[in-house]
Amino acid sequence: MSIIKLIDFAGLDVEFLNPSIKAFNQTFSYERATDATDFLGKELYAKEKYPLTFLINLAQLESFYKVLPKAIKTNSLTVIFAWPEELELFGEFTELLDTHQIFDILHHPISKSSFRLLLKKISRHFNQANIAPSYPDSKSDELNEFKAMHDISIKLSGYTDTDSLFKMVKLLAFEYTQAEHFCMYQVVEREGIGFNKYNYLENKQLQYSLEDAACISSQNNNVKETDDNQRYGLIPITLKNIPGYVTITQKSLLIEDFSHLSKNVPYNDHLLYARHLTFEWETMLTIPMIVRN
Report if residue 293 sits inside a domain: no
**Does 99 share its domain with 19?**
yes
Tens digit of each residue's pLDDT (9 = 90 or more) over 221-271: 565 655 555 678 888 888 888 888 899 988 888 877 766 767 778 887 665
Closest residue by Cα to residue 57 from 91, 97, 105:
105
Q: Is the pLDDT confidence value at 31 over 90?
A: yes
* Side chain identity, residue 266: P
**Does 110 share its domain with 192?**
no
Cα Rg of the chain, angstroms: 21
Strand ranges of the sheet holding 204-209, from the earlier edge strand across to the other edge: 185-189, 204-209, 231-236, 222-225
**Does 216 share its domain with 243?**
yes
The sign of the dihedral angle between the CA atoms of 232, 235, 239, 241 is negative
Report if residue 291 sits inside a domain: no
Quick check: 255 and 115 in contact, CB under 8 A?
no
Closest residue by Cα to residue 34 from 4, 64, 65:
64
Question: Which domain covers residue 282, as residue numbers?
Answer: 180-286
Q: What is the dihedral of CA 58, 62, 63, 64, to 10 degrees?
A: 70
**Does 71 share its domain with 44?**
yes
Looking at the structure of the chain, the number of domains it has is 3
Q: In whole angstroms, give the CA distance from residue 156 to residue 92.
A: 28
Report if residue 30 sits inside a domain: yes
- In this prediction, residue 225 carries a pLDDT of 59
Categorize the per-residue pLDDT at 214 as very low, low, confident or very high, splitting at 50, 70 and 90: low
Longest dimension (CA), the chain: 70
**Does 109 share its domain with 189?**
no
**Does 8 share its domain with 132?**
yes
Strand ranges of the sheet holding 52-57, from the earlier edge strand across to the other edge: 28-32, 4-8, 52-57, 76-82, 104-107
Q: In whole angstroms, give the CA distance from residue 180 to residue 126.
A: 36
Average pLDDT over the chain, rounded to whole? Answer: 76
Categorize the per-residue pLDDT at 183 as very low, low, confident or very high, splitting at 50, 70 and 90: confident
- In this prediction, residue 47 carries a pLDDT of 67
Q: Is the pLDDT confidence value at 134 over 50?
A: no
Q: Is the pLDDT confidence value at 205 over 50?
A: yes
Report if residue 257 sits inside a domain: yes
Whether the pTM exceeds 0.75: the reply is no
CATH number at residue 21: 3.40.50.2300
The 3-state DSSP class for residue 145 equals helix
Give the strand pairing for 204-209 and 4-8.
Answer: unpaired
Domain termination site, one of 125, 146, 178: 178
**Does 38 share its domain with 124?**
yes
The 3-state DSSP class for residue 29 equals strand
